Chains A and B, each alone.
Chain A
Amino acid sequence: MKENDQWTALFQEVGRHKAPDDLELRVVERIRERSSVVSRTPQLFGPRHWSLAAILFVVVAASGWLFPGRMHGTTPILRTVTDGSWGHQLLEVISSPWALAGCAVTLVLLLLDRALSKRGHLLIRG
């Protein structure tokens, strides 16, 4: 018998340590507990927050459209309607820094919310 084999024989004779009989149940229980904890975690942005954010966005966009002069010096909306250039004015408002920043922030929040909810879903699946 080779020297290495002698060691192997000794280790084989001693064998593995016996894990508890109910280990499977404990593992499954922990997985289920963890899943329920994750599923109870409240959303970062609830419906109220989203409603408030939407209202703020509308207010900012509306004020930018109605009072564009305060933001980037364009002509007030009432005059643009009368002189027929409101279509051009609308494009300017949409492309204003305020509107773009508002859209960007909304997009970031949406992506963050989506990422967090996806992460939570993965944890639930575990």
Chain B
Amino acid sequence: MEDLAIIALARSGDMNAFCTLVARYKHMVFTVANRVLRDQLDAEEVTQDVFIKIHDKLNEFHGSGKFSTWLYSIAYRTAISAVRRKRTVAISLDDPQVADVAAEMSGLDHMDRNLILENAMATLPPEDAAILTMYHLEEMSVQEIVTVTGIGASNVKVKLHRSRKRLSAILHQQLKSEVWTLTTDG
């Protein structure tokens, strides 16, 4: 069933339809929340908050844009607000915790690409991690990211470039033995 049909049912008070929406998008919302907050429990809490907001604001969605963009916009803002409340400080490349991560990774026999990427992502500022996720995982356009974040297009591009450069540096550091062809351009 299409999103709009499910949304229409959910608006009329059909909780099963609303649950279908949650089930369809929960991983997407949880991913951005987790990338921003870097804490499983906080991310779960924020994901729930996001869907409660969606439930409250469902009448405000008129279907002119994509539902996923609208949802992502609420998810991103809720996660950023939560991280600001927590006053999480972004870890810099020189932070000792990053060195710990690198040391831990180098001790592994088999490089777990997923874990390495997640650890590298955790070193980025929350906003940048979310933008990278939107662009490369959700394959959103720069314009869609502008809609979601409220950040200017040129700024989004700068953040993408800077984040890739930073990620690349960390990944190179962690995967010295592996040939990485990833570059920071684009």
Q: Please list the residues of chain A having a beta carbon within 8 angstroms of any beta carbon in chain B.
A: 2-4, 6-8, 10-20, 23-24, 26-28, 30-31, 34, 125-126
Contacts and interface: CB of A to CB of B under 8 A. Distances in A.
A10 B182 contact: yes
A26 B30 contact: no
Chain A interface, >50% SS class = helix
Contacts of B114: 13-14
Interface residues of B, number: 38
Given A4-B186, A14-B113, A14-B117, A24 B136 contact: no
A27 B31 contact: no
Contacts of A28: 15, 18-19
Interface of B: 13, 15, 18-19, 22-23, 26-31, 34-35, 43-44, 47-48, 51-52, 55-56, 113-114, 117-118, 132-133, 135-137, 139, 164, 181-183, 185-186
A18 B30 contact: yes
A8 to B, nearest CB: 5
Nearest to B13: A125
Given A8-B135, A12-B136, 7 more contacts: A8-B139, A17-B27, A17-B31, A18-B30, A19-B27, A19-B30, A23-B22
A24 to B, nearest CB: 4
Contacts, number: 87
B137 A15 contact: yes
B57 to A, nearest CB: 10
Chain B interface, >50% SS class = helix
Given A19-B27, A27-B51, A12 B137 contact: yes
B137 A24 contact: no
A126 B164 CA distance: 41
Nearest to A5: B186
B118 A14 contact: yes
B26 A7 contact: no
Contacts of B22: 23-24, 27
A114 B125 CA distance: 46
A122 B113 CA distance: 47
Given A3-B185, A3-B186, A10-B136, A31 B52 contact: yes
Contacts of A27: 19, 22, 48, 51-52, 55
A11 B27 contact: no
B137 A16 contact: yes
Contact of B34 (A6, A17, A34): A17
Nearest to B20: A24
A57 B48 CA distance: 49
